[in-house]
Every structure is written in structure tokens, then in C-alpha cells.
Amino acid sequence: MSGNKPQKLGLVLSSLIDKWGMRERMETAKVIETWATLAGPQINGVTDAVWLKDKRLFVRIISSAWRQELYMRRKEWLQRLNEELEGGTVEEIIFR
């Protein structure tokens, strides 16, 4: 029998996630999923790609009219996104 003390499963998983470098990818997936939910089908229909880099969410929009509309309301989108994520995960949204 090993002399190791039992550990809580949550602590073990958290440690493994950090060790394997998966935490950032999991956070990125959560941000992108949350954006898709908030944006809804109409905006997702004109979105070509979404990615996160250095706390900036990049959203490629295929319609210049939609891009302008979203750009004008970017602070509102940012606030809603961070409220849903329960923190300041995203510092800026960039519409391209």
C-alpha cells in the first residue's frame, strides 16, 4: 500500500489540467461558446470565425453592415460577455 494521503478528485483534476496545459484551451472554449450563445443564430449566421488571444476576442464578420452595428455596441457586448463568464476574462472584442 502506498503512503500517499488521499486527495480530493477536484484538486487532482485541476492539477492535471494545469500540468497538461489545458486550462487556457478550456477557458478559450468557454469564451467562444458563451459568445455564440449570447450572439444568437442571426449574428452567428454572419460570423465566419471566432478566436481568443491575449484576452481579446476576435470575431470575423462577413457583412460590413453587421460589423459596423456590432462595433458600435462593442462595449455592451463586452459587458454582457464578462457578466456571463463571471469575470474579466475578455478585455476587448475586435470585429473584423
In this predicted model, what pLDDT tens digit does every residue of 56-85 receive, in sequence order? 999 999 999 999 999 999 999 999 999 999
17 is a domain residue:
no
Q: Which residue has the higher pLDDT, 4 or 91?
A: 91
Number of domains in the chain: 1
What's the domain range around 55? 22-95
1 is a domain residue:
no
Residue-level pLDDT at 14: 84
Residue-level pLDDT at 22: 86
Q: Which helix (H) or strand (E) holds 95?
A: strand 92-95
12 is a domain residue:
no
Check residue 87 and report its DSSP letter.
S
27 is a domain residue:
yes
pTM: 0.79
5 is a domain residue:
no
- For 1-52, write each residue's pLDDT tens digit: 456 788 888 888 888 888 888 888 889 999 999 999 999 999 999 998 999 9
Crossing angle for the helix pair 74-85 and 64-72, to the nearest 10 degrees: 70
Residue-level pLDDT at 3: 62
Check residue 64 and report its DSSP letter.
H
Amino acid at 64: S
68 is a domain residue:
yes
86 is a domain residue:
yes
16 is a domain residue:
no
Residue-level pLDDT at 1: 47
